[in-house]
Structure 1
Amino acid sequence: MRKLDCATDRFISKPQTEKKQNKTIYSSLLYKTLHGKTAEEDRKQARRIQEIKHKNKRRAEISQYPIRILDGPGLVDDFYVNILEWMPQRDVMAIALGFTIYLWDELAETSSELFTAPESKISSINFIDETRILVSHGAQTEIFNIPEEKHEKIFSFGTGRVLVSSRPGIIDEVPHFVLGTENGYLHFQDRRTAEPTLSLHAHDSEICAAKWAPHGTYLATGSNDKTAKIWDLRMGRFPTVSFADHAAAVRALDWCPARRNTIATGGGLHDKKIIVWSTVEGAVYEKTQADTQVAKLQWVPHRPTEFVTTHGGETSQTSHPVVLWKTNDLAEIARLGDHDRRVLQMGISPRLNVLSTASPNGTIKFWKIV
């Protein structure tokens, strides 16, 4: 297993003379005789102590209690829906409760009703920008204008529960969004036309996660078929990497914001692993075993060395935690107070770094993590 931290370049020194070598050996032996360990062992211990102090200090900064709890009646108990999102540049959260989307303004501490689907419960939402949101319900996906409170465009192509937007230039220099469907298809949809620009049979089962890389044109997808795949549409209709180290659905997925070609994924109930890996060749950097299924995963925007996971599992379980992790060794930094039911929805505000989590027990909790 390769370490996540990149190796630093080092100058190769000239060979030491025999006299200098003997002096170095003597100094090392003398240090060990006086201190009971070598200087290198002493330095390692000092670094370890500093890491523990830093972790304890970081843990002390984080409250295990939420700063706010809101009622969320109608929250769907479905592992595959994606119904909580924050705006890209504003601290405004959207959440779907059954048929209706509500907005929560974190700065103003106010809520408002935005949109109600006519027939089917909302299964996925995703912001295009601060003025428009993508909404999927039943067999329809639509673009809704937030300031004008009107429907801009409606598309009909199968039932999907994963929506991701793409910025212009990623696909053919035109604005697209991507819909992942229950039968494993990816539909790349030009927002100006009725028919998909491209449809791919990407997975053998339902697609339950999809996210564009922050630094490029790669799309990562996770599926109920226990795989995560990396796509580069410039290279054709086949994935560049197919990652099959999980033993359950891959719904928890996010790109590292500070390191190119690095992603973290989490497995479902029969897997429970968190893995950080390379999207170039699929090599594993770090992995760990969680207590329960990993439902959601997201890097902290202003702390790229940390990410958050939410968990859950059988209804008989009493603990459904929210956990903050250190990236480079997957050490647990803090475990926040949990929900009564599995935590299926999660997001982090872009500016205030407020973490929001939602559970089918009808509660939405807000946590201060920075």
Structure 2
Amino acid sequence: MSQFNFENELNSVLRMDAPMSKGPSIRWQRKEECNASVNSSLNISTASKTPMKNVNRSVNNPKTPSTGSGSKTPKSQGKSKTPAKAPKTPSGGDRFIPNRNATQFDLGHFKIMNDGKGDNPELLSPSQKEFQKVMSENLNGADIMSNKIISYKNKAPSAPEGYQNNLRVLYSSCKSPVSTAKKTTRNIPQFPERILDAPDIVDDYYLNLLDWSVTNQLAVCLGGSVYLWNAESGDINQLMQVESQEDYIGAVSWVKEGNYLALGTSSGEVQLWDVTAGKRLRNMPGHASRVGSLAWNSYILSSGSRSGSIHHHDVRVANHHIGTLNGHTQEVCGLQWSPDGRHLASGGNDNVLNIWPAHIGSLVSETSPIYTFTQHQAAVKALAWCPWQPNLLASGGGTADRHIRFWNCSTGTCAQSVDTKSQVCALLWSKDYKELISSHGFALNQLTIWKYPSLTKVSELTGHTARVLHMAMSPDGSTVVSAGADETLRLWKCFAVDDDKKKKQQQKSSSKDSSRVLSMTSKIR
């Protein structure tokens, strides 16, 4: 009988027009059954939180939830597989979601790019560091190095007294939306304005071969010759040349009025020249060895030699030698009179700095210095008196010392000092800014501008390939010329004054002149 049943079933399957009695139900029927089950589950009491379970659930997979009730994510034993919404505060959950409104994405991007591709801050010059700081304050509203990228918790300030609705008070994380940062540094050119050749310049640390007059003429000693360069016209004239090929010029210094030039020779002579006429006026011998430093105090010319002695010359009289100072055991390489003419500073190769009084009599060899400073550990050549504080002296030491020290000559104390990390060759004070410029030898052969009294670096000027031995300043105080052992002269316009400041200075000077004229006329009447 079974074979006949099989034949009947096979015939019913082959007949396409007859209804199928076995097999899965049709899709539209399954859909109706699913809707009917959903409707029945909705009629169940709301007190039941667990959805209806499918009776035909497989026993082999008891952990698989039923989909018969139409819910795709049913709850099982009071636990939800889908996590609840994350809390707004970090304390409400196991992970932290930061406040996106307090996140500074631009700041974070800038820090990431700066850490990955930026320059090393230690290799930047002080002017570049200051420029980056000012730019970051202008772009981000504050210094980026002191800000955080993500703000974890910012407490809003309390509302003002008497305010009714605290919800309507507006708060801002930034105190001022517009940056009030001001650029504190001026623009200092990093390249020289002009470069001049200085062939045969003597590479000797203890000589002083450069000086700039008030008539805008630059005197340069090149071997045994002295040349004058007119800064206005650019003309170059040779003033003199020594007779012997073995002799050379060791020092040069202009008188305050700028019409006479003093020279110190390797043979121990001090010469006085009239640059207008182009002839020598006087030859004043007396030193036992070469003269490497000169300094003027009105009509008194002081000269320092390798023997360690300092001579005072009165250029008006026939017997020019009027005094001698013996306070050094080795060569006197630095010599400077104070602006008020009351003190003479002398530095020597014996690492000693002496401060002498202005008592100039006949043969003042018994005169002792007011102060003797021995803090320097190398030769003291670089000397500069402060123009606005006459009792303040700056001195620089050689290779073994490398320090710039500031002395209060009223009390005889060292006010400040800074380690420059290189040999100090020359020092100059600015006339318009409270700044100081120094020239150095090994290892960078640079010029450094210092802010006083903070002694922070304003700028570094590089370009010389050998140590920068000498410096001089233009009459207007805006340009500094440096002479290096690389046989070049470089002019740096590092102390240029703004037009507004120039106008104010001119107004002050004109008001002073008018007041002087009025006082003179009143005295005459």
TM-score, normalisation: structure 1: 0.79
Contact 1:90 1:351 in 2 (8 A): no
| Contact 1:241/1:281 (<8 A) preserved | no
1:184 aligns with 2:314: no
Matches within 5 A, 1:287-326: 287-303=417-433, 305-313=434-442, 317=443, 319-326=444-451
CA distance in 2, matches of 1:51, 1:238: 53
CA drift at 1:251:
0.5
1: CA distance, partners of 2:359 / 2:480:
35
- Cα distance, 1:352 vs structure 2: 5.3
Task: Evaluate the alpha carbon distance shift between residue 34 and residue 251 of structure 1 in structure 2; reply closer, same or farther with a 3 A threshold.
Answer: farther
Q: Match for residue 384 of structure 2?
A: 254
The residue number in structure 1 matching 2:268 is 139
1:242 partner SS: strand
Distance 2:280 2:403 in 1: 41
**Aligned equivalents of 1:179, 1:254: Cα separation in 2:** 17
1:160 and 1:352 map into 2 onto residues whose CA distance is 28
Aligned 8 A contact 2:446 2:464 in 1 = yes
Q: What is the CA-CA distance between 1:259 and the residue it aligns to? A: 1.0
- Aligned residues with identical type, % of pairs: 28
DSSP 3-state at the match of 1:123: strand
The residue number in structure 1 matching 2:297 is 166
Q: Distance in 1 between matches of 2:183 and 2:224?
A: 48
Give the Cα–Cα distance (whole angstroms) in 1 for the partners of residues 182 and 413 of structure 2: 28
Of 187, 208, 231, the residue aligned with 2:356 is 231
Residue of structure 2 in register with 1:151 after alignment: 280
Give 1:166's aligned amino acid. Answer: N
Alignment-derived partner of residue 39 in structure 1: none
> Could you tell which deviates more after superposition, 227-236 or 177-186?
227-236
Quick check: 1:241–1:280 contact (8 Å CA) kept in 2? no
Structure 1 alignment gaps of length 5 or more: 1-32, 36-48, 168-174
Q: Is it true that 1:108 corresponds to 2:236 in the alignment?
A: no
Q: Kindly report which structure 2 residues correspond to 1:53-68, keeping only aligned pairs within 5 A, or say none.
A: 53-54=183-184, 57-58=185-186, 61-68=187-194
1:332-347 alignment to 2 at 5 Å? 332-347=457-472
Which amino acid letter does the alignment assign opposite residue 63 of structure 1? P
Rg bigger for which structure?
2
3-state SS of 2:468 partner: coil
Supply the distance in 1 between the matched residues of 2:320 and 2:389 (Cα, whole angstroms): 36
Q: Does 1:86 align with 2:245?
A: no
| CA gap 1:103/1:34 in 2 versus in 1, 3 angstroms | farther
Cα distance in 1, alignment partners of residues 320 and 238 from structure 2: 30
Report the counterpart of residue 27 of structure 1 in structure 2: none
In structure 2, the residue matched to 1:240 is 370
| CA deviation profile, 1:42-74 (whole Å, cap 9, x unmatched) | xxxxxxx999941xx22xx11110010011101
Q: Which residue of 1 aligns with 2:258?
A: 130
Shift of 1:185: 0.5
Partners of 2:308 and 2:430 lie apart in 1 by: 29
Asked whether the equivalents of residues 91 and 352 of structure 1 are also in contact (C-alpha less than 8 Å), the reply is no
1:281 to 408, 411, 416: 411
Task: Give the letter aligned to residue 454 of structure 2.
Answer: D
Partners in 2 of 1:328 and 1:216 — Cα distance?
Answer: 24
Correspondence for 1:355: 480
Residues 1:51 and 1:284: Cα distance change in structure 2 (over 3 Å) = farther
Q: Matches of 2:180 and 2:309 in 1, distance apart?
A: 48
Measure the CA separation in 2 of the matches of 1:351 and 1:50.
33
Partner Cα separation in structure 2 for residue 151 and residue 100 of structure 1 = 14
Q: Which residue does the alignment assign to 1:98?
A: 223
Asked if 1:328 is matched to 2:453, the reply is: yes
Contact 2:394–2:406 under 8 Å retained in 1: yes
Cα drift, residue 243 of structure 1: 1.3
How far residue 79 of structure 1 moved from its aligned partner, in angstroms, is 0.3
Whether contact under 8 Å (2:313, 2:323) holds in the other structure is yes
Give per-residue Cα distances to partners, 1:247-276, cap 9 Å, x unaligned.
101111100101131111111000000111
Q: CA deviation at 1:337?
A: 1.6
Kindly provide the amino acid, as one letter, of the partner of residue 85 in structure 1: D
Amino acid at match of 1:248: A
Q: Which has the higher strand share?
A: 1
Shift in Å, 1:107: 1.7
Distance in 1 separating the partners of 2:295 and 2:390: 20
Which secondary structure does the structure 1 equivalent of 2:359 belong to? helix
3-state SS in 2 of match to 1:197: strand
- Compared CA separation, residues 34 and 214, structure 1 to 2 (3 A): farther
Give the match's secondary structure for 1:77: coil
After superposition, the CA RMSD in angstroms is 2.1
Matching residue's letter, 2:199: P
Post-superposition offset of 1:200: 1.6
| Bigger relative contact order (CA 8 A; separation at least 6) | 1
d(CA) in 1 for partners of 2:372 and 2:182? 36
- Counterpart secondary structure, 1:234: coil
| Cα distance in structure 1, aligned partners of 2:369 and 2:215 | 33
Where does residue 322 of structure 2 map in the other structure? Answer: 197
CA pair 288-145 structure 1, distance change in 2 beyond 3 A = same
The structural deviation recorded for 1:232 is 0.6
Structure 2 Cα separation of the partners of residues 242 and 52 of structure 1: 44
Offset at residue 196 of structure 1 (A): 1.5
Counterpart CA distance in 2 for 1:208 and 1:51 is 46
Does structure 1 conserve the Cα–Cα contact (< 8 Å) formed by 2:268 and 2:305?
Answer: no
Distance (whole Å) between structure 2 residues aligned to residue 278 and residue 52 of structure 1: 33
